Amino acid sequence: MSAISSKITSGIHKLIRALVSYEATDAKGLKKAFLEAVDDYLDMCHQQGIKPEIPLKGSLNVRLGEALHRRIAIEAARHHVSINKFITETLDRAVNEG
């Protein structure tokens, strides 16, 4: 997200919980400032001994194996939902009960 105010362009990386902000006076400078801000964030994580967060886009690839894939497809059909919806709801229940 960026905004232009007093000819200063700035942004905040919002896909992680840490605040990574940057600003510049033009688009080229903004890209450079963004890359420097990310490098600073990674350096800070290294210095503090913490694992950097990575943005998650909400999709992932899981290797199920043919037999499990078939059983999941059968259960999803039995519940009249897509395989994706069945897996999402099953995982949601698992993490919320844990």
| Backbone conformation region of residue 57, classed left if phi is above 0, alpha if psi is from -120 to 50, else beta | alpha
Buried-state track 46-83, b at ≥16 Cβ within 10 A, e below 16: eeeeeeeeeeeeeeeeeeeeeeeeeeeeeebeeeeeee
pLDDT of residue 1: 44
β-bridge partners, 2: 11
pLDDT of residue 65: 95
β-bridge partners, 22: 11
Per-residue pLDDT for 15 more than 80?
no
Query: What is d(CA 8, CA 49) in angstroms, rounded to the nearest whole number?
Result: 33
Mean pLDDT of 22-34: 85
**Residue-wise pLDDT tens digits, 39-92:** 988 898 899 898 888 777 788 899 999 999 999 999 999 999 999 999 999 999
Per-residue pLDDT for 25 more than 80?
yes
Reported pTM: 0.49
